[in-house]
Amino acid sequence: MDANAIDVLLIEDSPGDARLIQEMLAETHRTPFALERVDRLSSGLDRIASRPPDVVLLDLGLPDAKGLEGLGAIQRQAARVPVVVLTGLDDEDVAARAVQEGAQDYLVKGQIDDNQLSRAIRYAIGRKQTDEALRQSQDRLQTIIANTPIILFATDREGRMTTSEGRGLQGIGVQPGQVNGRSIFDLFAGQQDILEIMRRGLAGEEVTSTVEIDGRAFDLCMGPLREGKGDVCGILGVCTDITERVRAEEALHTTLQELEARNQELESFTYSVSHDLKEPLRTVEAFSQFLLEDYAGRLDEQGKDYLHRMGKASGRLKQMIEELLALSRLGRRPEELVRVDPGQVVADIGVAFHTGLEEKNASIEVEGELPCVLGDMSRVEQTFGNLIANGIKFNRSERPLVTVGVQDVRNGAATFFVRDNGIGIDPQYHDKIFGVFQRLHRREEYDGTGAGLAIVKRAVEALGGRVWVDSAPDAGTTFFVSLPLWQEAAIAA
């Protein structure tokens, strides 16, 4: 048998009619038909069960099936097999019912020829395949909708629900289809915002909005359904449950607020502690001094030494308090980011350090032009100020030189360098030096509390930049600072 032949099962009890069909099918050359004939429904059902044909030609007047019973039986047996109903009667009602009940076509035996029959069979098969494809597609869609956390809904032109599906319905405790037939004006009575949106949809508008239903938040996206001439015949919409996302955002927002509040508290605390600490410190300093002045004569060297040490210690304490204060202020996000010219800052620093530079025969040089950055004056000043000061302080050269320049500019940031010909820093300490009150040298060698670089780090990071160092003992030190570039169209964060 030809594998390409269309496998036709003819269920026809009248031999004469069967013969007619056989001959008609044999006539056609284009599409070979392989015909098998049975004379009763039961045989037909057996055949279908064992080897489903491509199409069934079903006579309505069978001994074991009256009217359309046979059609129903075949469909129950094999829903995918297309059925063409044959009958001797030209009965429109029956025809309509047959097609309604799933037959692909209805042919009147005396009124067809071989071409029509052949065509009817081919179309029946074709249509059935299309129907199948459509059905599968719908099934897939249905599965998707049923499993996606969305709500798909549609209404008629009066606002009565015609469709309500999707796993999103679970979130509001509704079964798919449960609210079909009910009016949205009842379902959402009291929720003016939703009703307003629905009205707009029914008036022909596409609307996107966020709504709240039964305590859950949804992104709603809907538009009008239109029929033939473009008249609105209902609305179709999809709701996506965004409750979790909204909750997460709110939680994040709350956390940020709390964090900000905590920071403020810490800052106030640090400020008032530092401030309050200064008062008794002042008394200690003052009276140590007075003691020294008034009783110097009566004190021996030891006594004077004690006082001297007290004085120095309170000096250190004072400086540490001030640096802690400065540090706490620097950590906060800058209020207003403006254009800052590092070249100007370095020039100002040069002026401010004038005396110190002269004393040490030191100089500050700027290499090339420094691009403007986005930041705030105070932090940029403190950054360059401390780096330059360090470059001069930790320096045994005859002519200490600090050079400031720009290393590179890319990705919206400028990397500056502050290079000195000083004593250098051993690589094993390159991280440690940024700690608060971290010192690498004995106090007799180099003075200072060690907070300078901590201040630089805090200031730079508050502006969104980074600082790092390249150095080796006796080989000078270069600090690198990256800061966001000032760009004309830049918007302060």
Partner 1 sequence: MERFRPVQILLVEDNPDDVSITARAFEKGGVVSRLTVARDGQEVIDLLCGGDNSAARPDLVLLDINLPKMNGLDVLAKVRATSAVATVPIVMLTASGRREDIERAYGLGANSYIQKPVVFEGLARTLDVIGQYWFEVATLPPAS
Partner 2 sequence: MVGAQVRERPIEILLVEDNPGDVRLTREALHEGKVWNNLSVAGDGVAAMRFLRREDGRANAPRPDLILLDLNLPKKDGRQVLEEIKVDPELRRIPVVVLTTSKAEEDVLRSYNLHANCYVTKPVDLEQFMSVVASIEDFWLCIVKLPPDGNGR
Contact stretch for partner 1 (CB under 8 A) within 17-25, 133-141, 278-286, 407-415: 278-286
| Sole residue written with tokens 């057996």 | 46
345 touches which of partner 1, partner 2, none (CB within 5 to 8 A by kind)? Answer: partner 2
Q: Is 425 exposed, middle or buried (0-12, 13-18, 19+ CB in 10 A)?
A: buried
Q: Which of these ranges, 185-193, 237-245, 283-291, 424-432, lies near partner 1 under the rule CB under 8 A?
A: 283-291
Residue 279 binds which one of partner 2, partner 1, none, with CB within 5 to 8 A depending on kind? partner 1
Q: How far apart are CA 85 and CA 11, in angstroms?
A: 10
Judged by CB under 8 A, the chain residues 317 through 376 that form the site for partner 1 are 318
Q: Contact between 472 and partner 1 (CB under 8 A)? A: no
CB 325 within 8 A of CB 458: no
Cβ proximity of 224 and 234 under 8 Å: yes
**Binding to partner 2 (CB under 8 A): which residues in 352-391?**
352, 377, 381-382, 385-386, 389
Decide which of partner 2, partner 1, none touches 421; Cβ closer than 5 to 8 Å per partner kind. Answer: none
280 CB burial (10 A radius; 0-12, 13-18, 19+) = exposed
- Could you tell me which of 68, 52, 53 has the C-alpha nearest to residue 103? 68
Size of residue set near partner 1 by CB under 8 A: 12
| Shortest separation between residue 292's beta carbon and partner 1, angstroms | 12
| Dihedral-angle region of residue 352 (phi above 0 means left; psi in -120 to 50 means alpha; beta otherwise) | alpha
Question: Would strands 363-367 and 232-241 be described as parallel, antiparallel, or unpaired?
Answer: unpaired
Closest separation in Å from C-beta 325 to partner 1: 10
Residue linked to tokens 């209805």: 106
455 binds partner 2 (CB under 8 A): yes
**Candidates 103-111, 141-149, 239-247, 342-350; binding stretch for partner 2 (CB under 8 A):** 342-350
Q: What are the strands, taking DSSP E only, across 318-452? A: 338-340, 363-367, 373-375, 401-410, 413-420
Q: Which of 282, 308, 339, 441 contacts partner 1 by CB under 8 A?
A: 282
Q: Which of 281, 326, 389, 413 binds partner 1 (CB under 8 A)?
A: 281
Q: β-pairing, 6-11 with 33-38? A: parallel
Helix (H) or strand (E) holding 120: helix 114-147
Partner touching 386 among partner 1, partner 2, none, CB below 5 to 8 Å by kind = partner 2
Strands (DSSP E) contained in 194-248 are 207-213, 216-226, 232-241
As measured in angstroms, the least distance from the Cβ of 286 to partner 1 is 4
**275: contact with partner 1 by CB under 8 A:** yes
- Return residues touching partner 2 (CB under 8 A): 319, 322-323, 326, 345, 348-349, 352, 377, 381-382, 385-386, 389, 451-452, 455
- Return residues touching partner 1 (CB under 8 A): 275, 278-279, 281-283, 285-287, 289-290, 318
